[in-house]
Chains A and B, each alone.
Chain A
Amino acid sequence: MSDIISVKNLSKSYGKNQVLDNVSFKLEEGQIIGLLGPNGCGKTSLIKILTGLINDYSGEVLVDGEKPGKSSKAKVAFLPEKTYLPTYMIAKEAITYIADFYDDFDKEKATRLMEVFQLDPKQKVRTMSKGQQEKLQLILVMCRNAKIYILDEPMGGVDPAARDFILETILKNRPAGSTILMSTHLIQDVEGIFDSILMIRQGKIRIQDSVEKLTKDGKTINDIFKEVFSVDWKY
């Protein structure tokens, strides 16, 4: 398998605060990769770099063989942690908006999922609940036939029932051969779906390996996470 994401000697700092420190890794195509780490470890900065939101860094970053930019953005479907849709739009307009910019967007599938998710196509984003907005954003991302899906805490702040629903939607609608990089701190809920894990602590990669290798001695990913990060929470 070829590398879909390749990062070499990546460093990023905000003033004196080094958030990513000489990070290097490669991610294989077609896998579901868990990006794990506590808050402030550099996960979001890494995601922002991969999605082209941050361009001021040192080192080499390649997304499907290209520097993050205009071309790579067309291949990456990104679900940020925040609700980002313009509030004046109605759901149907949000779908048209995404379809206009991304050639890989499946409009029919999106319309179908709107019905499944019980979303009113004529409802304004402004009047939607947070849960409805998240559902709509999930549709917009998962109805793309993208090569890479970057999902930043897709289940953060939702109840356990909604977590299962989100996870199911992601897995059901993911095109074959696509790569998913998912950042999360809810490891127990999702560890079963990961093929490999990338753990970041204080701007450095602590663990990068396949789930198979990591769990061969009976440990869960959650156990390994606790081992790596419990040091930050000792008296």
Chain B
Amino acid sequence: MTGNIKNKNKFGMLLKHDFIASTRVISLFYIVEAFSLLLFFIGNYLTKNATDPGAVATKLIQICPIAAIVSFLVAMLLIFLTIFYIIYDFNKSLYSPQGYLSFTLPVSSQELLLSKTLVYGGWMIVSFLVFYFVTEQMAIFTSDVLDETYGEGNVETVTSLVTSMFNLPSYSQIVASIVFMMLNIFTMMFLFVATAYFSISLAHMRYFQKRSILWAIIIFFPVFFFLLWLALKPSDYLQLIVQFKADGSFGFGVADAGDKYLMGFDISRMLMCIIECVGLFFATSYIMHKKVNIK
């Protein structure tokens, strides 16, 4: 029992130090995002509320649209930078000489990998949420601009436009479809990262080690595209979907020609991606434990 508690503590320490190490770099991206968002919010607030703005306020109002665009671009870039960083850091902390430290800690290879997966996965989710939040703010900002330019009532116009675009009757269905769409993209990105971890680990086996970066790239692409192709296969036999119904509700079910629903969102691929990620996790931890050679 005591041993278990100690083990848990060690895993907690791994999480703590992985978080601290990643925060040092990733937080810099968020500072840039927070700064541009702050400028945008102040500018937006002043646009709406300042009756007689001074020189500084006028400047802030003027740069508001630029800050909006920068916020959006940085939020998008944030996702890619986060993914790039977590792949880079995985390689550096485990397979550079730093690996002598990581692999001799009193934890298992599986715990090393799990800790990185949780911390980095957390950062990926945060970067997605930030992107979602910024996109939503930009949408509101855009509709406000449309209101001012073309008169009131454009929020409804935009909503009905989006509703018709998605061909869905209710707002909750639109939100649900966006959430599922983002989950779908997120699992694909997670599969991308999991495949990168697998390829990097495999490339650090003695046989591939001399040209590990080259081998990691050579291994990555066929594995990733094969897994993407494989993820599509279950839909051929059993298509699990989210059903958006005419009464505005939605639920889960199996695709069937006889069913009556407005739109079906295929989640088979998403589920298969999750299964593949789990498979890659175990394969990578096995390679880390049994096959890699720290130079």
Contact = CB atoms under 8 A, between A and B. Distances in A.
B48 interface: no
Nearest to A99: B13
B100 A15 contact: no
A52 B294 CA distance: 11
A73 B24 contact: no
A101 B10 contact: yes
Interface stretch (B102-110, B114-122, B137-145, B171-179): B102-110
A42 to B, nearest CB: 14
A15 B101 contact: no
Nearest to A78: B104
B100 A86 contact: no
Contacts of B233: none
A85 B98 contact: yes
Given A52-B103, A100-B16, A84 B108 contact: no
Contacts of B98: 84-86
Interface stretch (B76-84, B216-224, B254-262, B285-293): B285-293
A18 interface: no
A100 B101 CA distance: 13
A53 interface: yes
Nearest to A83: B97
A68 to B, nearest CB: 10
A88 B13 contact: no
B211 interface: no
Nearest to A45: B293
Interface in A116-171: none
A86 to B, nearest CB: 6
Contacts of A69: 108
Given A53-B294, A56-B291, A100-B13, A80 B100 contact: yes
A85 B21 CA distance: 12
A74 interface: yes
A29 to B, nearest CB: 20
A53 B100 contact: yes
Interface string A62-76: 000000011101101
B187 interface: no
A103 interface: yes
Contacts of A70: 7, 106-108
Contact of A74 (B13, B106, B290): B106
A173 interface: no
B293 to A, nearest CB: 7
A215 interface: no
A103 B290 CA distance: 26
Q: Chain A, interface size: which category? A: 20 to 34
B106 A102 contact: yes
Contacts of B93: 86
Contacts of A15: 206-207
Interface string B64-87: 000000000000000000000000
B97 A54 contact: no
A84 B293 contact: no
Interface string A89-127: 000000001001111000000000000000000000000
A233 interface: no
B104 A55 contact: no
Contacts of B7: 70
B291 to A, nearest CB: 6
A82 interface: yes
A83 B99 CA distance: 11
A84 B21 contact: no
Contact of A52 (B17, B104, B293): B104
Nearest to B293: A54
Nearest to B109: A55
B207 A86 contact: no
B97 to A, nearest CB: 4
Contacts of A74: 106
Contacts of B10: 101
Contacts of A85: 98, 101
B174 to A, nearest CB: 43
A67 B290 CA distance: 14
Nearest to B14: A101
A119 to B, nearest CB: 18
10 closest residue pairs by CB, A with B? A74-B106, A84-B100, A82-B97, A100-B13, A80-B100, A73-B106, A84-B97, A84-B101, A14-B206, A56-B290
18 contacts: A14-B206, A15-B206, A53-B100, A53-B103, A55-B290, A70-B7, A70-B106, A76-B104, A78-B104, A82-B97, A84-B98, A84-B99, A84-B101, A86-B93, A86-B101, A88-B24, A100-B16, A101-B13
Given A15-B206, A78-B104, A101-B107, 15 more contacts: A14-B206, A15-B207, A56-B290, A70-B107, A73-B106, A73-B107, A74-B106, A80-B100, A82-B97, A83-B97, A84-B97, A84-B98, A101-B10, A101-B13, A101-B106
